[in-house]
Amino acid sequence: MSNDIVDDATLHEIAIEAANCGARHALHNYSRRRNTLKTYDHDIKLELDVECQREIETLIHKHFPSHAIMGEEDATLHNTDRSKQHPANAGSEYEWIIDPIDGTVNFSSGLPMWCCSVAVRQTRDQSVVAGAVTAPMLEACYAAQREKPATRNDNIIHVSPTATLEESIVMTGMDRDLRPGVPPLACFSRIADNARKARIAGSAAVDLCWVAEGAADGYFEGSIFLWDVAAAGLIAKQSGATVEKIWDGSKLNQLGVIASNGLIHAQLRMTILDVGFEPQDHS
């Protein structure tokens, strides 16, 4: 393993540069947003997903040629076997985790909730050191590094003061791959019944950044991938959120996440877990 320790501030700066670079490429080529490489059940892979990832990789490797990179576009989206080891990080002190376009379907259709997400973690203990989420159509660049407050466009952000789930807006997704034994839509309807509003915006990274800046109070997805939440999870934490991994999915790099402003966490957690999730021990 290489011993090149990089200071957090530098990693933070490059994460922002990389997320901005991916977002810029997507925006400059917006007229090609519908060009699709592959169609899955309920999902698509775009030419621009792949191009943006390459742009970001080039930028990261210009600064850190020896760092490992894990990108959404390298993973066979719906076909990754948890038992397979990810080989890319072998020998590198740091691993960058990229979602070149989170909210791909929104982007392709012309909806504004999409972003470019870049995180960097220490390979040794898998802790995320820095991350950035650039959502150009929302005119926002969110960023964080560990032990420092999170920012939106360089201004410090905080989670909301909302005290109860009944008063809360909870962002969620349309999980089609929930844990066995948990009925589809059960979590959504539990949240909708217990919160003021349940909302599905279509980008997990944007959802978590909205929790970070207090526009939303909670977030839950029972089945999401690491690249969707790695950067925004740190941004939420560094703005005061409680971010909890509730289980490892059956696919490699798949997980379930509950996040909140902290004040509603126990209530939100109970609402979701009541449906049938039995959380694994992630102490």
How far, in Å, CA of 72 to CA of 53, rounded?
8
**Applying CB under 6 A, does 104 fall inside the site for ligand LIP?**
yes
CB nearer ligand LIP, residue 174 or residue 266: 174
**Applying CB under 6 A, does 204 fall inside the site for ligand LIP?**
yes
CB nearer ligand LIP, residue 43 or residue 166: 43
**Applying CB under 6 A, does 118 fall inside the site for ligand LIP?**
no
**Applying CB under 6 A, does 102 fall inside the site for ligand LIP?**
yes
| Per-residue CA distances from 250 to 80, 225, 230, 259 (Å) | 9, 11, 18, 21
Which one of the spans 18-26, 188-196, 199-207, 255-263 is the region binding ligand LIP (CB under 6 A)? 199-207
CB nearer ligand LIP, residue 102 or residue 213: 102
CB nearer ligand LIP, residue 26 or residue 263: 26
Which one of the spans 30-38, 133-141, 149-157, 200-208 is the region binding ligand LIP (CB under 6 A)? 200-208
CB nearer ligand LIP, residue 36 or residue 122: 36
How far, in Å, CA of 235 to CA of 237, rounded?
6
**Applying CB under 6 A, does 242 fall inside the site for ligand LIP?**
no
CB nearer ligand LIP, residue 95 or residue 102: 102
**Applying CB under 6 A, does 103 fall inside the site for ligand LIP?**
yes
Shortest spacing between CB 211 and ligand LIP, in angstroms: 13
CB nearer ligand LIP, residue 9 or residue 200: 200
Residues that bind ligand LIP (rule: CB under 6 A) add up to a total of: 12
CB nearer ligand LIP, residue 51 or residue 102: 102
> Buried b / exposed e across 253-272, counting CB within 10 Å, b at 16+?
bbbbbbbbbebbbebbbebb
Q: 3-state SS of the chain? A: CCCCCCCHHHHHHHHHHHHHHHHHHHHHCHHHCCCEEEEECCEEEEHHHHHHHHHHHHHHHHHCCCCEEEEHHHCCCCCCECCCCCHHHCCCCEEEEEEEEECHHHHHHCCCCCEEEEEEEECCCCCEEEEEEEEHHHCEEEEEECCCCCEECCEECCCCCCCCHHHCEEEECCCCCCCCCCCCCHHHHHHHHHCCEEECCCCHHHHHHHHHCCCCCEEEEEEEEHHHHHHHHHHHHCCCCEEEEEEECCECCEEEEEEECCCCHHHHHHHHHCCCCCCCCCC
Site string for ligand LIP, 119-158 (x = CB under 6 A): ----------------------------------------
Residue nearest to ligand LIP (CB): 173
**Applying CB under 6 A, does 99 fall inside the site for ligand LIP?**
yes
Q: Considering only residues 166 through 185, tell me which ones interact with ligand LIP, judged by CB under 6 A.
A: 173-174
Q: Applying CB under 6 A, which residues contact ligand LIP?
A: 43, 72, 99, 102-104, 173-174, 202-204, 228
